[in-house]
């Protein structure tokens, strides 16, 4: 059985918090290469300052492009900009 953990973190105004399922980073392309954490971080760094909705849209597009529109698992990605 899975267990949940509670953790409190301090964030500053303007911080972008992202949450995602493993299906995002495990999305595979035709060569079976995973999308990966490194690619996700690189994409997020390139979207610094963008509206949270735009970040979600761009990550979705990039994951779908990588997996040729057929991710093998659920792909949930949520971005929240702290105001």
Task: Using the predicted structure, report yes or no on whether residue 71 has a pLDDT greater than 80.
Answer: no
CB-CB contact of 27 with 77 (8 Å):
no
CB-CB contact of 81 with 51 (8 Å):
yes
- Residue 52 confidence (pLDDT): 96
pLDDT tens digits, one per residue of 16-69: 999 999 999 999 998 889 999 999 999 999 999 999 999 999 999 999 999 987
**C-alpha radius of gyration, the chain, whole number:** 14
**pTM score:** 0.83
* Torsion sign over Cα 59, 65, 66, 71: positive
CB-CB contact of 23 with 73 (8 Å):
yes
pLDDT grade for 74, boundaries at 50, 70 and 90: confident
């Amino acid at each position: 059985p899975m267990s949940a953990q509670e953790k409190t973190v301090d964030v500053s105004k303007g911080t972008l918090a992202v949450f995602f399922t493993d299906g995002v980073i495990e999305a595979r392309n035709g060569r079976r290469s995973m999308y990966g954490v490194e690619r996700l971080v690189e994409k997020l760094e390139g979207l610094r300052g963008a509206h949270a909705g735009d970040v979600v849209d761009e990550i979705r597009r990039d994951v779908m492009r990588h997996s040729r529109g057929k991710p093998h698992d659920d792909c949930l990605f949520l971005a929240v900009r702290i105001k």
